[in-house]
Amino acid sequence: MQFEITDKKIINISSDAAIVFAFSEKEKNKKYTPHNSFIDLDKELGGQIKKACDLEGFSAGRGEYISVISVDKIPASRVIVLGLGAKKEFVWDDLRRAIGSLAQKLKGKIDSVSLSIPSFEAESSPEIVARVISEGFILGSYEFNKYKKSNGRELSSVIFSEVQSKDQKVIKKNIEIAENFSKATILARDLVNEPASTVNPTFLAELAKNIAKKDPNIECKIIERAEAEKMGMGAYLAVAKGSDTPPKFIHLEYKPQKKSREKLAIIGKGITFDTGGYSIKPADSMVSMKGDMAGAAAVLGIFAAISKVKPSYGVIGLIAATPNLISSSAFLPDDIVKSMSGKTIEIITTDAEGRLALADCITYAIKEGATEIIDLATLTGAVMVALGPDITGLFSNNRDLVEKIKAAAFTAGEKVWELPLEKEYRKLSKSPVADLPNVANTRYGGPITSALFLQEFVEKNIPWAHLDIAGPAFIKNGNDVSGKGGTGFGVRTMLNYLMEEKS
Ligand code: BES
Ligand code: ZN
Ligand code: ZN
């Protein structure tokens, strides 16, 4: 998809469709308010746009659209009026999603669109609008069609019209940011969508090495099973025991231009397939468990894009990759394993495997001198019970970090909601035989007790956040900005986070 910027007026641009916008209204005889170039184009078309909207009962709901043929009155073949929903509720992400849904619907039908960047009263900045629109087009067009016929070709060109020359540079830069972020998101989606027989730990490790090879600012180290054993990663390796495919502990490192004392560790859960192990999952729950490496996919997406973001501090990406399988050598309920931290863990269920791998990643991050830790993990089914399929559970021991992650997620249009690290619930996780059990003695509060497990491995003074992405990382039905399956959740939130300088 190509993006072009021009100072030409939309009425003078040739494309398959000129897009204009409208907000919905709830008044009796007014269903929508025209926005942006609607009025200009309507004049050129002799009032045909308004007429079509009224005739068809167009109400400008978000993503609702109407197409009007322009019968050669303007160079664009048609005008598309795109609804943005109610103005009162409008946030930037509504524009991203409206565009995303339009991109899906126009697939295979339309090749080029033109639009002028709409301005909105509340703190309108054209560069942000251009970024949101570009992300909407790219992310909405994505589908995983490697093994099936595609729904049709995606748009090949988007022309932003009426951009004054003084604004062109900054708008171009923001389109490039959108392209970089979306490409990284799509990499994560592809990794999640590709079956686990292909995307195994070796595949992830090779990809990590390739990312580092292409980029002088990034280094990559792969720790094999034998070395991980020497380092004492007994929790992670317990999960890896059941599989012949070798586990790979992936360490990516971004080095800033100027040396910095700050080092952020981004940890991604990298269970390439989760059968549950001997605490086997019911057949229905096992479907989609190829997505249990969505956190790892996000880390790889982030590193594929990080050099263009250029954070001024060090960033390490850690993935303890392994599937959770069953074999005669697999770990068992009742096993007691020793984590890298020295803490022993009683295995109550082999299906709570992610936290074992993550625990050793956290200890490793601390040994590497991390000054801040953020993990992304499809950790619990229970977080979906709590927050539904669209929202990530956010836990943190640091207020400032919570606010920054929330802001970064809001900019990305990715939904997060904070849940508490309730210390009273620590007593729900006691083991008679080890320092701690791998699950609490109750199902209630599952996402919280799981986060509390991870917190046991975080040193008190290190700011840490845990994102339980089990809901939005993998979606059954698709949405306006993502097809079915992997969404790449977390990539754009984290890239936004990295874009903000540490204060
Ligand atoms: N990978 C799952 C969590 C999950 C479930 C992610 C559904 C995405 C969709 C995790 O390893 C797991 O099995 N968690 C258990 C925890 C339980 C054993 C305490 C769960 O959620 O049931
Ligand atoms: Zn599991
Ligand atoms: Zn899992």
Question: According to the 3-state scheme, what is the secondary structure of 14-33?
Answer: CCCEEEEEEEEEEECCEEEE
Q: Please report, rounded to a whole number, the percentage of residues in the chain having pLDDT higher than 90.
A: 95
Work out the number of other CB atoms within 10 angstroms of the CB of residue 77: 17
Long-range Cβ contacts of 426-434 (<8 Å, 24+ apart):
426/452, 429/453, 431/345, 431/346, 433/336, 433/346, 434/336, 434/344, 434/345, 434/346
Active-site entry in 62, 78, 225, 355: 355
**Rg (alpha carbons) of the chain, rounded to whole number:** 24
| 355 included as an active-site residue | yes
**Confidence band, pLDDT 50/70/90 cuts, at residue 12:** very high
Number of Cβ atoms within 10 Å of the Cβ of 281: 16
Strand partners, 78: 69
Cα 256 from Cα 217, distance rounded (Å): 7
Q: What is the mean pLDDT of residues 193-222?
A: 98
Confirm if 141 and 154 have CB atoms less than 8 A apart: yes
Residue 61 pLDDT exceeds 80: yes
pLDDT value of residue 169: 95
In this prediction, residues 140-164 reach a mean pLDDT of 95
Question: What pLDDT, on a 0 to 100 scale, did the predictor assign at position 467?
Answer: 99
Q: Tell me how far apart the alpha carbons of residues 499 and 302 are, in angstroms, rounded to a whole number.
A: 12
* Interval between CA 183 and ligand 1 midpoint (Å): 28
In angstroms, the CA 377 to CA 372 distance is 17
Q: What tokens appear for 268 in the block?
A: 């991604």
Q: Are 219 and 255 in contact (CB under 8 A)?
A: yes
Interatomic CA distance for residues 303 and 267, integer angstroms: 12
pLDDT band, residue 122 (cuts 50/70/90): low
Residues, Cβ < 5 Å to ion ligand 2: 274, 351, 353
Give 354-388 pLDDT, tens digit per residue: 999 999 999 999 999 999 999 999 999 999 999 99
Q: What element of type H or E holds 399? A: helix 399-412
Task: Determine the 3-state secondary structure of 185 from DSSP.
Answer: helix
pLDDT at 502: 67
492 assigned to active site: no
The label of the residue with tokens 């845990």 reads 466
In the chain, the amino acid numbered 15 is S
Atom of ligand 1 nearest to the CA of 269: 1
Positive or negative, the CA dihedral 207, 209, 211, 214 is negative
Q: What is the pLDDT of residue 368?
A: 98
The pair of structure tokens assigned to 205 is 């490790």
Residue type, 331: F
Taking only the tens place, the pLDDT of each residue in 235-284 is 999 999 999 999 999 999 999 999 999 999 999 999 999 999 999 999 99
From 285, 362, 363, select the one nearest 324 (Cα to Cα).
Answer: 285
Angle CA 155–158–159, to nearest 5? 155
CA 434, chain centre distance (Å): 36
Backbone φ and ψ for 393, nearest 5 degrees, come out as -85, 125
For 128, 142, 172, 179, 416, the CA distances from 164, given in Å and listed in that order, are 15, 31, 12, 22, 36
Whole-number Å distance between alpha carbons of 193 and 466 = 23
Q: Which of 333, 340, 328 is nearest to 366 (CA)?
A: 340
CA distance 4 to 242: 52
Residue listed under structure tokens 């991050």: 365
pLDDT tens across 341-362, in order?
Answer: 999 999 999 999 999 999 999 9
Mutate which of 349, 351, 443, 474 for ligand 1 pocket (most atoms within 8 A of beta carbon): 351
Give residue 123's pLDDT.
63
Taking CB atoms and a 6 Å cutoff, what residues make up the pocket around ligand 1? 274, 292, 349, 351-354, 378, 380-382, 439, 446, 470
Q: What is the pLDDT of residue 501?
A: 77
- State both tokens at 388: 């539904």
- Are 391 and 416 in contact by the 8 Å Cβ rule? The answer is yes
| Selected catalytic residue, list 209, 221, 281, 338 | 281
pLDDT score of 10 more than 90 = yes
Rounded to a whole number, what is the distance in angstroms from the first to the last CA of the chain?
A: 36
Distance in angstroms (rounded) separating the CA atoms of residues 310 and 261? 16
Mutate to test the pocket of ligand 1, among 281, 380, 441 (most ligand atoms within 8 A of CB): 380
**474: β partners:** 486
Return the pLDDT at 37: 87
Q: Is it the case that residue 209 has pLDDT exceeding 70? A: yes
Residues 6+ apart with CB under 8 A from 329: 241, 242
Ligand 3 midpoint to CA 489 (Å)? 16
| Buried-state track 34-55, b at ≥16 Cβ within 10 A, e below 16 | bbbbbebbbebbeebbbebbee
